Every structure is written in C-alpha cells, then in structure tokens.
Amino acid sequence: MAAILPRTICKAAEAALSLHSVLPRAACHFARYLGGVSSACSNPGTASVEFLPWHNGGGLLHRAASVDPTAVVEPGAVVHSGAVLGREVVVGSGAVVGPSVSIGQSTRIGYNVVLSNCSVGDFCIIHNGASIGQDGFGFFVDDAGQVKKKPQTLYAKIGDHVEIGANTCIDRGSWRETIIGDHTKIDNLVQIGHNVVIGKCCMICGQVGIAGSATLGDYVTLGGRVAIRDHVSIVSKVRLVANSLVTKDIQEPGDYGGFPAVPINEWRRQIANMRLFSKKDGMKR
C-alpha cells in the first residue's frame, strides 16, 4: 500500500502538468480559427497569440481589448480588438463582442449575442441570440439595372437600463445613428431598422417591425406585431394596438389602432360598422 500511494500521486501530478500544457495549446488553436493568431503561434512551443484566455470565466480576449478585472467572459465568448467592457459586465458563452464595441457597467450579455458597431449603456440586459449593429437593409438600382448596396457606416447606441429580448435585431445607422433611449424595454423577435431613433421608457412587444429612419418619442407602447413604415414620426405617449400599421406621422398623444392606424375610437367604429354591414349583407343573401 505504501508503494502504491507514491505511484498514484506521481501519476496525478503528471496528469495535472499535461493538462496545464494543453490549455494554452487549445486556446491557440481556437484563436487560429478566429484568425487572430500571430505567425509565431504555428510553433508548438510558442503561446504568442492575439487572443488569450480571460482569467475570469475562460473566454477569449484580444490583446488590444480593455476589460475591467471584475468582468466575466464565459467559455466560448470572444471579445475583439478595441472593445471596452466595464465593471461587473457578464458576457455569456458563444457571444461575440466586435471591434471597438463598448459595454457599460453591470450589463449582462446573453448566450450567442452578437455586438458590432455599437455601444451598450450601463445596467442593460441583452437576451440570448440578439444581434446589434449589423448593416441595415439599404439598396438601390443603378443606371445599369444592378442592385447596389448603400453604405452603412454609422453605429447603434443603446442607452442605460435597456432590456432587449431574444433574437431581436437592431441595425446600425447609415445617415444617422440608430438610438435606443434609456429604460426602453424590447421584447423577443423585434426588428429595428437602420437610423431608427426610439425615446426613453418605450415598451415594444414581440414581432414588432420598425422600418428605417422612423422616430419614436418617449413612453411609446407598441403592441405585438405592430408595423411602422420608414421615415414616420410618432410623438411621445402614444399607444398602438396589436397588429396595427402606422403609415403616416402620429402627431397627437393617445391610443391608436387599425390598418392603417387611426385614433382608437375611430378604429372601433370601423370594426362595428364592418360587423353590421356583414350581417346585413348575409341577411340579403
């Protein structure tokens, strides 16, 4: 028994040493996959890579990223060059923080979130699968009949205390920055186009679609599947019934509904008249 114990301890020590040597090598291979490895990394004995494991969580950080020591970057997450992570930020597994993205303190980034060309404020929650800062849908047909892409070069700015639901997409700006105001809450599966400006304390329910360059004031509430056309402006303190379509500016606070959206009482009269008309038409037949 006395002879077995030293042999067991020796084997455990060897296993620990081999595991210690494998971790940098695995990080090196993953970093090479990301395209961020220096040429020296091709040498097995060299651990000189652009992306290195973060001590608090095990995710990968670019050497040029600026990360507060209290931030957590979970395994499988990647933080790119020039990104800034504030105090007590949490980046979930599979998330990607793109170059020069900034994230304010105590913000939580969910699994598989992609952040690029954007800034996120303090105390925000970005749920799983959301994508912020990608190019907007901007194209034109040139004189030769070819479809050409319009430049999308600006940013998306997310305010403080904002919550963004799972699989929601917010495009970067082209002629002005896309802005989400403080304390605004956005549900799952929402599409917000480029150049959209949303005020503070807005509530946006699931499957809403806001086309490019629309402007929403403060305390606007959009029911599920509301659609807003491009370049429309909505004043503060407007509420829209689910499935409504906004085709022109709304300049007075209040409740609206319908397709196209009209003041709520007018919409109710339309629905009542349609029912009466359908009953009368059915009796004639």
**Could you report the average pLDDT of every consecutive run of 10 residues in the chain (285 residues)?**
43 40 47 45 50 95 96 98 98 98 98 98 98 96 95 97 98 97 98 98 98 98 98 98 97 97 95 82 64
Structural domain total, the chain: 1
From its phi and psi, is residue 57 left (phi > 0), alpha (psi between -120 and 50) or beta?
Answer: left
| Residue 27, helix vs strand vs coil | helix
Question: Catalytic amino acids?
Answer: 194
Q: Is residue 179 part of a domain?
A: yes
Report CA-CA distances (Å) from 138 to 12, 149, 272, 279.
60, 6, 40, 46
CATH of the domain at 271: 2.160.10.10
From its phi and psi, is residue 40 left (phi > 0), alpha (psi between -120 and 50) or beta?
Answer: alpha
Any idea how long the chain is?
A: 285
Q: Is residue 21 part of a domain?
A: no
Distance (Å, rounded) from C-alpha 203 to C-alpha 164?
11
Q: Which amino acid is at 244?
A: S
Q: Is residue 153 part of a domain?
A: yes
Q: Is residue 226 part of a domain?
A: yes
Q: Is residue 164 part of a domain?
A: yes
Smallest CA-to-CA distance from 259 within 275, 284, 240 is with 240
Domain of residue 255: give its range. Answer: 116-283
